[in-house]
Amino acid sequence: MIKCVSHKKVYLTQALAEEALIDARTRFQYRKHQGPVAVYKCEDCGYYHLTSQGDMNPRLASDLAAGKIDLQKEANHWLDKLKKR
């Protein structure tokens, strides 16, 4: 397992980090202006991390505007309910 001195979770590629960003936004409830909004390449480890700072990732912004994040949140909600049965 690759580790970073920042102790943040490491993603090997920008694409994997973006997938994790989208997944986090669909699985967890964040207050307005909180939670991860972008990915960046770390100067310490050379890999990617999520961040709540800076401009919103274009893919995340597009998925939010299209309502895809809300639809996936709803799907995850029902999947969780069905799993508890």
Task: Tell me the one-letter amino acid at 37.
Answer: V
pLDDT above 80 (res 85): no
Asked whether residue 6 is domain-assigned, the answer is no
Its domain, for residue 43, covers: 14-83
Q: State if pTM tops 0.75.
A: yes
Asked whether residue 75 is domain-assigned, the answer is yes
Average pLDDT of the residues of the chain: 94
Longest dimension (CA), the chain: 46
List Cα–Cα distances, 9 to 21, 25, 68, 83, in angstroms.
12, 16, 25, 27
Asked whether residue 7 is domain-assigned, the answer is no
Contact indicator for 9, 49 with CB cutoff of 8 Å: yes
Contact indicator for 47, 4 with CB cutoff of 8 Å: yes
Domain count across the chain: 1
